Amino acid sequence: MDVNLIFKIAAIGIVVAVLNRVLNQSGREEMAMMTTLAGTVIVLMMVISLISRLFDNVRTMFQL
Amino acid sequence: MLDFIRNWIINITVVMIFIMLLETILPNSDMKRYVNVVVGLLIVVVIIQPLMLVKDISLQFNKNVLEATAFVQQGSVAAQAVDLNRYRKQEALQLFEARIKGEIGRLLEQEGIKNDNARIELELATDIDQQDFGRIRSVDIYLDGGDSSAIEVNKINVSISKVDDGDDNKSVMNKDNGEYNFSDNSLTSKLKNSISKALGVEESAVSIRAK
Amino acid sequence: MDIFKIVMIGIIAAVMAVILREEKPEIAMQVSLVTGLILFLFIISKLDSVITVLKYFAGKANIDILYFSTILKVIAIAYITEFGAQVCRDAGECAIASKIELAGKVLIMVLAIPILAALMDIMIKIVP
């Protein structure tokens, strides 16, 4: 069980939230939007490999 | 007979235990009802087993199951077949392109131009759904003048033109610039002719350029 | 014990998801998704032994391999459907979740169709 991934994603989320707040305060809405998007995409990349692993496991176990 | 009944009862018991285990590991939700339908059908099949012995229905039953399975899976198999066909056509196109390039290279070699000096580009109709899939749209050949053999060819041309026209100033000037116009050359037209003959395309679709 | 690990992972992930939900709901959703995935992977490695026992039983009772694989497929579809639907429902997309469930139900029914058809055929044959 790699619990680290949960912490990693939460850390990315907090960093992105802070960046978003700072950039919004300094009046750069478009940059804030970009950071949000980048954070989401990075996290999604991490999640997708995990999902594919789960599906592979299920497939081999139930001989689908 | 007694043996058969014993087997039958053991079967039913084991299936019951089996299904009990299954129910516990199932996620509790709406799905349960639908899973129960399938499981119920299986129980019916197990209980009905003594009837199967009558008039060898068992074989018929298995045949029916397989037929129905094949029918249900037909749709997905057809979709996969379309994908596979597409993939194979793409592969065939690549092979075709490589072979045509090899053929052109051989033709060029016959005319005394080395393969590494010529860059061959083909434009094929790559749209699978079109009627003319795989037709050669155009052939572009770029001859590299920087190499020694190509210059040799040019030199021969220069000497020919000297004999024919007696106008060597122009060719010498061209030589200084390092650019030779092949467009109205006899070698180029010969190449064009042979390539178009070999590939079965019009001569206008073949273009040869030299640097 | 494993159950302590699982509960602790769940609680910690829940805390983090709640923290993030204020600022970034999309990443909070990903946190809960990853937690679900990790727990699911862990559970599946345990479930493997259960499936092995079931296979042993099936072999012993001479249950036809066709029916056994059908049952296994049904369980797998039920699990995966449940997982996907719950993730979607967590993210607030109830419509997508119910569509996933519908797809799971239909697929299970499709698996049941061959047995159903064969049974029907036998009924018609046996009753004169």
Domain ranges of chain C: 1-61, 64-128
With beta carbons under 8 A apart, name residues in chain C contacting A53: 41
Return the minimum-mean-pLDDT range out of A16-30, B55-69, C107-121: B55-69
Same domain? B106 vs B202:
yes
Chain C residues with a Cβ under 8 Å from any Cβ in chain A = 5, 9, 12-13, 16, 19-20, 23-24, 26-28, 30-31, 33-35, 37-38, 40-42, 44-45, 47-48, 51, 69, 72-73, 75-76, 79-80
Separation in Å, CA of A6 to nearest CA in chain C: 6
Whether residue B164 has pLDDT greater than 50: no
Q: Output the pTM of the full model.
A: 0.62
Is the pLDDT at C27 greater than 70? The verdict is: yes
> Do B41 and B109 share a domain, yes or no?
no
Which has more confidence, C92 or B167?
C92
Pair B33, B98 in one domain: no
Neighbours of chain B (3+ CB pairs under 8 A): C
Q: What pLDDT score was predicted for residue C102?
A: 92
pLDDT at position B184 over 70: no
Domain tally, chain B:
2
B128 and B205 housed in the same domain: yes
Low-confidence winner among A23-27, B130-134, B177-181, C17-21 (lowest mean pLDDT): B177-181
Which is nearest to B188 in space by CA: B147, B139, B148, B146?
A: B139
Residue B172 pLDDT: 40
Predicted ipTM of the assembly = 0.76
Helix (H, G, I), strand (E, B) or coil at A1: coil
pLDDT in tens, chain A (64 residues): 678 888 888 888 889 989 998 998 998 888 888 988 998 899 898 889 888 988 888 888 877 6
Partner residue opposite B64 with nearest CB, options C54, C81, C117: C117
Asked, for residue B75, whether it belongs to a domain, the answer is no
Q: Work out the burial of residue B103: count CB atoms within 10 Å of its CB; fewer than 13 is exposed, 13-18 middle, 19 or more buried.
A: middle
Residues of chain C with pLDDT > 70: what percent? 95
- Residue span of the structural domain in which B40 resides: 1-47
At B65 the pLDDT is 78
pLDDT-wise least confident of B18-22, B207-211, C44-48, C76-80: B207-211
Q: Is the pLDDT of residue C22 over 70?
A: yes
- Range of B68-82, B125-139, C20-34 with top mean pLDDT: C20-34
Looking at residues B163-179, what average pLDDT do you find? 41
How many Cβ atoms are within 10 Å of C78's Cβ, its own excluded?
23
Same domain for B37 and B103?
A: no
Contact at CB, A13 and C38, closer than 8 angstroms: no
Partners of chain A (3+ Cβ pairs below 8 A): C
C90, pLDDT greater than 90: no
Residue B168 belongs to a domain? yes
Least confident residue range of C13-17, C35-39, C118-122: C118-122
Answer whether C touches A (≥3 Cβ pairs < 8 Å).
yes
Cβ-based neighbour number of residue B50 at 10 Å: 10
CB contact under 8 A, A1 and C48: no
Gap between the Cα atoms of B2 and C63, Å rounded: 20
pLDDT at B56: 65
Residues of A in Cβ contact (< 8 Å) with C38: 1-3, 5-6, 50
Mean pLDDT of chain B: 71
pLDDT at B87 over 50: yes
Identify the pLDDT of residue B55: 60
Beta carbons of C24 and A13 less than 8 Å apart: yes
Q: Mutate which of A4, A5, A9, A14 to disrupt the C interface (most C C-beta within 10 Å)? A: A9
Classify C97 in phi/psi space as left (phi over 0), alpha (psi -120 to 50) or beta: alpha
B15 falls in which pLDDT band (50, 70, 90)?
Answer: confident
CB contact under 8 A, A17 and C24: yes
Within a domain: B20: yes
Q: Please give the pLDDT value at position C98.
A: 92
C110 CB neighbours in chain B (<8 A) are: 72
Q: Is the confidence at residue B131, as pLDDT, over 80?
A: no
Q: What percent of chain B has pLDDT over 90?
A: 0
| A6 → chain C, closest CA residue | C31
Q: Rounded mean pLDDT of B6-25?
A: 81
Mean local confidence (pLDDT), B82-93:
85
> CA-based diameter of chain A, in Å?
55
Chain B hits for C117, Cβ within 8 Å: 64-65, 68
Q: Alpha-carbon distance C19 to C16, whole Å?
A: 5
Q: Do the chains contact at C30 and A39, CB–CB below 8 Å? A: no
- Three-class SS state of B30: coil
Give tens-digit pLDDT for C39-86.
Answer: 888 888 888 887 888 778 777 766 666 677 788 888 888 888 988 998
Whole-angstrom distance, CA of residue C42 vs CA of residue C2: 9
* Same-domain pairing of B121 and B189: yes
More confident residue, C123 or A26: A26
**Quick one: B2 and B105 in the same domain?**
no
Q: Per this entry, what is the length of chain A? A: 64
B33 and B104 assigned to the same domain: no
